[in-house]
């Protein structure tokens, strides 16, 4: 009966949740620079009378609500950093910070978690166990905020951790997760090729870094398609190619950057080795030199089977959720992975696509169907209820 009452309360706070989300949307802050957002979150918990720790692992805020009855300790996580993207939407809540916007729904995650906290506080004496509200900074920029929060030890006594991502790729009313690999490990690399510049009229006296770089890009496309077992999943994508200064000068240097996505550490290392061979071999063939910098980013998000099954069960109980399903993994990355390396738990997508106006994450016109926040909140509440009942 308690949990049904809490679920029903959520609908009453929808307008307030939207107001919070839209305020945060107008005042985004970049990763590791989230001062005003942190103050906003702290102020909300001060008003609620819920104790919290600030500056956890950097800019993290960890609030703890101890129920009046014995039970498990469950963490729920929301991130709150923005992206260096100009908001191009024509809406009243458009970002007021030039060159920065919430293009990945972290504003919605924060509003959702704050609303859950507000309702849970009303029923604190009746609640079993403890709820830990993890407000995480810097999800968008490695090394991220999750690892430093985990390393701080603040979650050492937590029994399980859950989180959701409002997902514009998925229709409203659909909840998606996976019983194992859910999101990929996300790495980045940079290649600098050193050739020999010269006049465009005498190319034979040069070592054209653009030509060499173009050949490197072409050859790297064969790493996944021809050097990796096709039954293994991997992505190698080139993001930037920078060289040259004017139309009639052959460039002496070229810089290439990109990303690699994998689920298996052994495969990850194999790709690094194969990339090195391709780059080295190509540059030797053109008598050029190179540097290859590879940065291993967030590990893959790997859900725990029992907790992932709990997500689907919890979502199926929510009015408005049309489908709660397991899906194939996404090649996008998320530092929620660090929580799951430390504790049992699961991550899931809450469909937030605006019908007829779909824009992907990190797009200048990105937006969400704000009703999805209610479905996310109710699913998380049901997860807490089921976990307390079944453990």
Numbered residues of the known binding site for Mn(2+): 104, 106, 140, 165, 362
Tell me the torsion sign for CA atoms 89, 91, 95, 101: negative
In which residue are the tokens 């209610």 written? 374
User: 209 with 243: CB under 8 angstroms?
Assistant: yes
First to last CA, the chain: 19
Cis-peptide, bond into residue 143, ω within 30° of zero: yes
Q: Is the Cβ–Cβ distance between 261 and 181 less than 8 Å?
A: no
**Residues tagged in the binding site annotation:** 104, 106, 140, 165, 362
30 CB neighbour count, 10 Å cutoff: 16
Q: Is 334 a catalytic residue?
A: no
From CA 176, how far away is CA 164, in angstroms rounded?
A: 10
Q: How far apart are CA 388 and CA 315, in angstroms?
A: 16
Among 34, 87, 107, 139, the active-site one is 139
Output the six-digit token pair for 149: 């929060």
* Helix (H/G/I), strand (E/B), else coil: 56: strand
Task: Say if residues 379 and 311 touch (Cβ distance below 8 Å).
Answer: yes
335 assigned to active site = no
For residue 133, give Cα distances in angstroms to 46, 60, 74, 324, 377.
14, 11, 9, 24, 13
Choose, from 79, 81, 159, 367, the residue flagged as catalytic.
81
CA 67, CA 52: separation in Å to the nearest integer? 15
Of 232, 314, 226, which is closest to residue 274 (Cα–Cα)? 226
Q: How far is it, in rounded angstroms, from Cα 296 to Cα 186? A: 7
- The token duo for 58 is 């950097």
Contact 131, 76 (CB under 8 A): yes
Looking at the DSSP assignment, which residues form a beta bridge with residue 290?
193
Q: Where are the beta strands (DSSP E) in 220-344?
A: 234-243, 249-250, 253-262, 289-298, 301-302, 323-326
Active site residues: 81, 139
């Amino acid at each position: 009966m308690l949990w049904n009452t809490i679920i029903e309360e959520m609908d009453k706070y929808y307008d307030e949740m939207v107001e919070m989300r839209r305020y945060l949307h107008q005042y985004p802050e970049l990763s590791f620079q989230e001062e005003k957002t942190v103050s906003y979150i702290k102020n909300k918990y001060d008003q609620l009378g819920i104790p919290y720790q600030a500056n956890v692992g950097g800019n993290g805020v960890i609030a703890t609500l101890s129920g009046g009855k014995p039970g498990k300790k469950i963490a729920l996580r929301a991130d709150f950093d923005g992206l260096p993207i100009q908001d191009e939407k024509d809406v009243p809540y458009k970002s007021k910070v030039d060159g920065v916007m919430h293009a990945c729904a972290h504003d919605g995650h924060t509003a959702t978690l704050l609303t859950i906290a507000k309702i849970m506080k009303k029923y604190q004496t009746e609640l079993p166990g403890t709820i830990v509200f993890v407000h995480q900074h810097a999800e968008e920029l490695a090394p991220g905020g999750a690892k430093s929060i985990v390393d701080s030890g603040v979650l050492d006594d937590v029994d399980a951790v859950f989180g959701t991502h409002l997902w514009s790729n998925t229709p409203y009313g659909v909840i998606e997760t996976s019983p194992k690999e859910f999101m990929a490990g996300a790495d980045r690399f940079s290649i600098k090729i050193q050739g020999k510049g010269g006049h465009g009229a005498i190319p034979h006296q040069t070592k054209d870094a653009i030509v060499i770089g173009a050949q490197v890009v072409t050859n790297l496309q064969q790493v996944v398609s021809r050097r990796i077992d096709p039954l293994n999943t991997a992505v190698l994508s080139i993001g930037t190619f920078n060289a040259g200064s004017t139309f009639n000068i052959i460039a002496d240097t070229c810089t290439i950057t990109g990303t690699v996505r994998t689920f298996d550490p052994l495969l990850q290392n194999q790709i690094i080795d194969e990339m090195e061979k391709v780059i080295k071999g190509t540059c030797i063939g053109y008598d050029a030199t190179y540097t290859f910098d590879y940065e291993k980013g967030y590990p893959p998000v790997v859900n725990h089977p029992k907790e992932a099954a709990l997500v689907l069960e919890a979502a199926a109980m929510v009015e408005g959720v049309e489908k709660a399903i397991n899906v194939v993994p996404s090649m996008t990355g998320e530092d929620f992975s660090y929580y799951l390396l430390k504790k049992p738990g699961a991550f899931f997508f809450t469909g937030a696509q605006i019908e007829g106006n779909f824009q992907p994450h990190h797009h200048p016109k990105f937006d969400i169907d704000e009703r999805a926040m209610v479905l996310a909140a109710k699913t998380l509440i049901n997860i807490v209820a089921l976990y307390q009942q079944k453990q």
